Amino acid sequence: MGKKVISARLRDGKDEDLKEALKKLPVYYDESDIVREALRQFLFGHKGRKPEILGSKVLIEEEIDTNRVELEEVDCISQLDLDKSLDEFIGA
């Protein structure tokens, strides 16, 4: 059985996101492997097989932690001022 070649081109103005993502790929990823895996996922899903390449993990630059709390430094408040503010807040 001979080799079958599928030719595709990225279009100007329509595929800039793909072009940029392909530029950012680590050198150890073969673009043809990625295209084959994408075709398998599109045509067959993941029924009965484990994906060879997890594309969503390849180009994530920064994961956003929605549970993260950022603290900022404030001027110190005396315990007396804090108690007074708390009393005013609860109406005591």
**Spatial separation of the C-alpha atoms in residues 9 and 25, rounded to whole Å:** 18
pTM value is: 0.46
**What's the gap between Cα 28 and its chain centre?**
20
Domain-embedded: residue 91: no
**Spatial separation of the C-alpha atoms in residues 66 and 53, rounded to whole Å:** 26
Domain count, the chain: 1
Domain-embedded: residue 4: yes
- Determine contact, residues 33/25, Cβ cutoff 8 Å: no
Domain-embedded: residue 65: no
Domain-embedded: residue 18: yes
Q: Which tens digits make up the pLDDT trace of 15-68? A: 998 888 888 888 888 888 888 888 887 888 766 666 666 665 555 554 455 667
Domain span at residue 9? Answer: 1-60
Check residue 53 and give its pLDDT.
63
Domain-embedded: residue 51: yes
